Amino acid sequence: MSDLMLHLPDYWHLWAVAAVIGLIALNYGTQFVSPALRLKTSLSQVNAHLAALSQQAPGTHIDLAQLKDEVMTSPALQHAWQQYASTLQAQWQAADAGPLGAARQRVGHLSRAFFAHMDVASNGHRLDLSNLEQLAQNDPSLGKLWTEYNQALEALQQLEVSTQNTTGQWQANSHAENYFTEQALVDSPLQSNFYKHIPGILTGVGIIGTFTGLIAGLISFDVSDPERVQAELSQLVQTVGHAFLVSALAITLAMVFTWIEKSVLTGRYRQVEELQQWLDTLFNPQGGVQYMARLTLAAEMQAALSFKILSQLRESPTHTPTRSAP
């Protein structure tokens, strides 16, 4: 290397190739390795916070806005969280489970008792269902059932609202892997699709350096003077040797960068997978199934009510007194 420093003008091509290799290495370190280390720290903090939330008692309230502001700090995480949070919904209880189930059953029981008493009171005649309150006022027993039904219905509505506002359980309609993807959180911020080709670029630069040194040595090789052939040959060997040295440096860096890139990306992918698992643990992705169950239950209740009303309408004309002809 001392000859290389003393004969800088003679080895300018090798210095140019070495400078290109140095710039590539500097860019790789500042634009890929350094952001990857920051991403590692960010994902570690997110996973640690989610792990702490998962250790809390069941039913503990989770503030989604606070989770976004304090945990999802990077733009990529905030965007993914915004899309994911839009799928979250309050955990729904089955129609016959818990206090809500008991309230729903009481409302249904009072509704059936009210209409059964109304059928008995009508003695098979057609009823005007558009004014139920007036019908209830004319019959003390029916009025009592109507009052109890209204009170039970109001209590059910208040219970549903309070449960929805104070729930600590949220459920997602889909898995977190659909939003917190490796492409969005790792590949795009780190530009991995570009930097995975850096080792190949370094290898190509090293080969160019080898051929550049060889060509420069052959151009300056002078065989016209037999007395200088020995010195010219020695100079050619030194030039080619330095060129191979630069090429070896480039190939070595290419192998090192390949190892760094694979290690960094594998570690970040593992952290993203861990983040997905924590989110699926916190927000059990069964909201879509429960949503379909709620739709099915509502459809069944509507069908049963429609069938009951239709049956009553079909039976009413048969019991309606016929008017005598004038």
Asked whether residue 325 is assigned to any structural domain, the reply reads no
Q: Name, in order, each residue with C-beta under 8 angstroms of 266's C-beta and a sequence gap of 6 or more.
A: none
Asked whether residue 311 is assigned to any structural domain, the reply reads yes
Task: Kindly tell me if the per-residue pLDDT of 125 is higher than 70.
Answer: no
| Model pLDDT, residue 165 | 45
Q: What is the DSSP string of 150-196?
A: HHHHHHHHHHHHHHHHH---EE-SS-GGGTS-HIIIIIHHHTHHHHT
Question: Are residues 59 and 187 part of one domain?
Answer: yes
Asked whether residue 324 is assigned to any structural domain, the reply reads no
E strands in the chain: 89-90, 170-171
Mean pLDDT for the chain overall: 76
pTM of the model: 0.64
Is residue 21 a contact partner of residue 246, using CB atoms and an 8 Å limit?
Answer: yes
Q: What is the DSSP letter of 11?
A: G
Question: Are residues 268 and 239 part of one domain?
Answer: yes
Asked whether residue 179 is assigned to any structural domain, the reply reads yes
Asked whether residue 326 is assigned to any structural domain, the reply reads no
Highest mean pLDDT among 98-107, 212-221, 243-252: 243-252
Gyration radius of the chain's alpha carbons: 40
- Residue 292: count other Cβ atoms within 10 Å of its Cβ: 10
pLDDT tens digits for range 33-90: 999 999 999 999 999 999 988 887 666 777 888 888 888 988 999 999 999 988 887 6
Asked whether residue 54 is assigned to any structural domain, the reply reads yes
Question: Are residues 294 and 248 part of one domain?
Answer: no
Question: Are residues 82 and 8 part of one domain?
Answer: yes
Question: Are residues 182 and 276 part of one domain?
Answer: yes
Q: What is the DSSP letter of 32?
A: I
> Domain limits at 159?
98-166+286-319
Question: Are residues 25 and 63 part of one domain?
Answer: yes
Is residue 156 a contact partner of residue 103, using CB atoms and an 8 Å limit?
Answer: yes
Question: Are residues 153 and 77 part of one domain?
Answer: no
